[in-house]
Amino acid sequence: MKKLFLSVIVTLFMSTAFATDKSPNTAKNFDETYKELTKMLNTYPNLGGLEQDVVVKVRIAINENHEIVVMSTNTTNEDLNYYIKNTLNYQKLLAGELQAGKGLVFLVKFTR
């Protein structure tokens, strides 16, 4: 009886370990989307208002025409905000990783 009880416990722990091996809510990999966004934003002009490196959190959504719509940025620098919105808004996203109606939040680092 003791061996049976012990084998049930071991089996229970083994099945739990295998069940938690992969989470069903794993984040998607958006490598192509990030590469495309980086290419779009990598042409920023020399912004004179940057005294130090700045990291900006950008939230975008994809519309039914598969175009980028900038929802918000967390920067207080109006030049950066203007540059991000004008560069990304209504640009076609060629990477097919995001469907219409879906959004993405990413960080952009601007160096002086």
pLDDT at 58: 95
Residue 111 confidence (pLDDT) above 50? yes
Give the pTM: 0.69
Banded pLDDT at 9 (limits 50, 70, 90): low
Banded pLDDT at 23 (limits 50, 70, 90): very low
pLDDT at 112: 72
| Mean pLDDT over each residue of the chain, to the nearest integer | 78
Q: Let me know: does 87 contact 40? Beta carbons within 8 Å.
A: yes
Query: How do residues 62-107 score in pLDDT, each as one tens digit?
Result: 999 999 999 999 998 888 899 999 999 999 999 888 888 889 999 9
Residue 32 confidence (pLDDT) above 50? yes
Buried/exposed 16-25: b ≥16 CB within 10 Å, e otherwise = eeeeeeeeee
Check if CATH label 2.30.30 holds for domain 27-110. Answer: no
Which sign does the torsion angle of CA 32, 54, 44, 69 carry? positive
- Within its chain, how far is the Cα of 95 from the centroid? 14
Q: Where exactly are the structural domains of the chain?
A: 27-110
